[in-house]
């Protein structure tokens, strides 16, 4: 059984999310504040978190920041605010996705399924597992440890930054639009948000490029999208 943790202080919203997720076959736990939510999240027994930003105790940003010190579990942030700055901050702290309230419970279920499927593919162990490391001009990606090093120095990436880099390195010299990347990395078709891709690519460049304004690895092909040049 897949276990979902909802950290939400609005009981009615949390109950609605729980009901839809349980109907979809998930096991659901609810925590109503940031402190108890973080404690539950760190237990390692949950496969995905649905995390509200406005929480008593610790807000969602603080919960996410502390969680990312030890865990790569997928996190979907929820917010009643529509400002881009909250989205940028949340994604920068390591959220895998961001949804504005109000939203369709059906969309939430779809996004959860997509993130779980992608996470399982990236971390699963199989008989035909691809070679664990990819290297391009001193940039090395280790699939097994989910680590990235540039000329021997580790680059600390969020889970989605890692996923984007890994996908592009697995498909070098091919151009992918923002929509393509959202579909391939997030596993979502109907609910894509290309601005999310732009934020992640910008932050990825800041971490792996010697000069983020003149990228040597993740290049922009104007009017088309992004590619990793080999």
The 10s digit of each residue's pLDDT in 50-66 is 999 999 999 999 999 99
Question: What Å distances lie between residue 163 and 13, 67, 169, 212, CA to CA?
Answer: 30, 18, 10, 19
Over range 5-9, report the average pLDDT: 96
Residue 131, pLDDT score: 54
10 Å CB burial of residue 15 (0-12, 13-18, 19+) is middle
- Asked if residue 152 has pLDDT above 50, the reply is yes
Residue 204, pLDDT score: 95
Distance CA 114, CA 162 (A): 17
What's the token pair of residue 13? 């919203």
Q: Which of 53-67, 120-134, 166-180 has the lowest mean pLDDT?
A: 120-134
Name which residue leads in pLDDT, 111 or 191.
111
Question: What Å distances lie between residue 184 and 1, 115, 118, 197, CA to CA?
Answer: 25, 11, 9, 11
- Asked if residue 191 has pLDDT above 70, the reply is no
- Asked if residue 129 has pLDDT above 70, the reply is no
72 and 118 Cβ atoms separated by less than 8 Å:
no
Closest CA relative to residue 95, chosen from 109, 111, 107: 111
The percentage of the chain sitting over the pLDDT mark of 70, rounded to a whole number, equals 93
Distance CA 206, CA 142 (A): 19
């Amino acid at each position: 059984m897949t276990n979902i943790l909802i950290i939400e202080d609005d009981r009615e919203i949390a109950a609605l999310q729980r009901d839809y997720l349980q109907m979809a076959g998930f096991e659901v736990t609810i925590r109503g504040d940031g402190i108890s939510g973080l404690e539950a999240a760190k237990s390692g027994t949950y496969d995905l978190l649905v995390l509200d930003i406005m929480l008593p105790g610790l807000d969602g940003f603080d919960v996410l920041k502390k969680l990312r010190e030890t865990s790569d579990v997928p996190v979907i942030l929820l917010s009643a605010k529509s400002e881009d700055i909250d989205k940028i901050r949340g994604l920068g702290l390591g959220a895998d996705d961001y949804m504005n309230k109000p939203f369709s419970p059906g969309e939430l279920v779809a996004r959860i399924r997509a993130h779980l499927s992608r996470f399982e593919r990236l971390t699963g162990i199989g008989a035909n597992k691809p070679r664990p490391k990819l290297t391009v001009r001193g940039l090395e990606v280790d699939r097994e440890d989910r680590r990235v090093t540039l000329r021997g120095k580790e680059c600390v990436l969020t889970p989605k930054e890692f996923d984007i880099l890994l996908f592009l390195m697995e498909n070098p010299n091919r151009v992918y639009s923002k929509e393509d990347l959202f579909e391939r990395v997030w596993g979502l078709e109907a609910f894509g948000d290309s601005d999310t891709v732009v934020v992640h690519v910008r932050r990825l460049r800041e971490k792996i490029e010697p000069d983020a304004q003149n990228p040597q690895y993740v290049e922009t092909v104007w009017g088309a999208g992004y590619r990793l040049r080999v």
